[in-house]
Amino acid sequence: MDEQALGAIADELLESYDLDGPAERLPPQEAVNAALEQVKRLLFPGYYADEALPVASRRFRVGTWLCQLHASLDRLIRRALVHTQPDADPSQLRHHAEAVAGRFLAALPGIRATLRLDAQAALDGDPAARSIEEVILTYPGFEAVMIHRIAHWFYGEGIPFLPRAMSEHAHMRTGIDIHPGARIGARFFIDHGTGVVIGETTWIGDDVKIYQGVTLGALSVRRSLAGAKRHPTIEDGVVLYAGATVLGGDTVIGRNATIGGNVWITTSVAANTLVIESPPSLRYRSPRAQGDGLEEGGDGSAQ
């Protein structure tokens, strides 16, 4: 292309940029991902650190990691705040970002304790699991829940952009989509996990287990419903099998209920209830005695 054509394209792009206003640049996704790796290293150094913690300098090494994470989070939080509050006092935003980063560091021991319970629930609930170490290192459901618990903490602090960036990173890595606003209780286990969707205002109790393809969603996605309870409540001890869909903010799945595979639910289910779909009417075909044709078993069984 010649210089004139390139100049025209540049002018058109610059004009469209001006329509967006003078907002500060958001934190790049790569920086958010890097901070998550720093958090994971502190939560489970035996799995995510580049090298083992030397016995003689463990406290020093962990202290260094904490300082590095605090600096990373401070920058990310400040940039996110400046983007949404461009007219705010810069010193106030700086102090706010520093305080939030500090509170998150203080929350790390509690987050780790909760995640240990999640890992134990996975081990207890999956006969294929050989150890907690295997769960933490290899299970996509555990990784998605770990990142969710981190993102949900920042969501609760009202920090813009970062929680959603974290959850989308988990979504891309695991195929599990959990909105950072979802409230999830202790000992939560997602088995297999691919295709799981958990909406923003979902409330999940303790000891809940869900399988791949489960959707906890809204009956309507109208913009006017922003902020309302749009997604279901799943009480303690519920199991949701593969492909189950539960919709609606008023829908409650009662304690210890079991929801079978591929069930579609838009109304509440009482505690201790088993909900299963009626078996489909199967039709079988087998080769004819002579020739390559097929004859159909009219009674639903092989002829």
Q: What is the mean pLDDT of each run of 10 residues along the chain (303 residues)?
A: 88 80 76 96 90 84 95 96 90 96 97 98 95 96 98 98 97 97 98 96 98 95 81 98 97 98 97 93 77 50 41
Residues whose CB falls within 8 Å of the CB of residue 136, separated by 6 or more in sequence, listed in order: 44, 47, 119, 142
pTM for this prediction: 0.88
Residue spans of alpha helices (H) in the chain: 3-19, 29-43, 45-48, 58-84, 90-125, 132-138, 140-156, 162-174
Distance in angstroms (rounded) separating the CA atoms of residues 155 and 179: 10
DSSP secondary structure letter of residue 49: S
Residue 302: the pLDDT is 41
User: CA torsion, points 139, 214, 154, 235, in degrees to nearest 10?
Assistant: -110
Exposed/middle/buried for 108, CB within 10 Å: 0-12, 13-18, 19+?
middle
Residue 303: the pLDDT is 38
Report the 10 Å Cβ neighbour count for 33: 14
Residue 300: the pLDDT is 46
Residue 289: the pLDDT is 52
Distance in angstroms (rounded) separating the CA atoms of residues 220 and 238: 24
| Domains of the chain and any CATH numbers | 19-175 (1.10.3130.10), 182-278 (2.160.10.10)
